[in-house]
Structure 1
């Protein structure tokens, strides 16, 4: 079955932000059980929200990191830290966003996010060298 234009736009954005390796892996792991869910997030998150012209990807990336940190979604947070290699958000930007998380969402949430960010940023640095 052909996918919608919203899905196609979402895949372009998803690949630009998360990278082909991540998206190819997620696609390879997809089953009949989660196919509708993958379509939903590709169309909704990536085709609609992340593809809107109102904010640059760097700012969307920082908002996403702050929200994921505040909500304690550690796996998704780590994935989006890795995605900053594609969005233009820097380690300094992430630090500033997490300082806001500490004040507005709590020190424990920021503490966990700082720990994960340090690990993921170190991996990115290693890969760059």
Structure 2
């Protein structure tokens, strides 16, 4: 796997959620993702950026445009130093929401992308990685 381009942007306030969505759209187009895949990735990124602001107290969205075996992908990593997710099993339960978001939650974001991982522990912040491939 080759990283063609990478960067990072702060996701600390509500306006940054909009900027994260715009950045994701721009990068998804640059990768050559189909419109439906762009929409799925932007929707997942929006939910995760909002979670970073609301529940994580703000953080960052790191991004990488990847190339592997003739295909391109966009990988996003949302990271914060917030309180962490106290009950990962509950957070990954379909239909569960803590309220305030788009109602997708982590499981909704997971269904929208090709790759998904979450790493969190109480007091240790949260890192959620998503990736969509052409």
Give the alignment's TM-score, normalised by structure 2: 0.26
Q: Which has the higher strand share?
A: 2
Asked which structure has the greater CA Rg, the reply is 1
What TM-score does the superposition give when structure 1 sets the normalisation length? Answer: 0.27
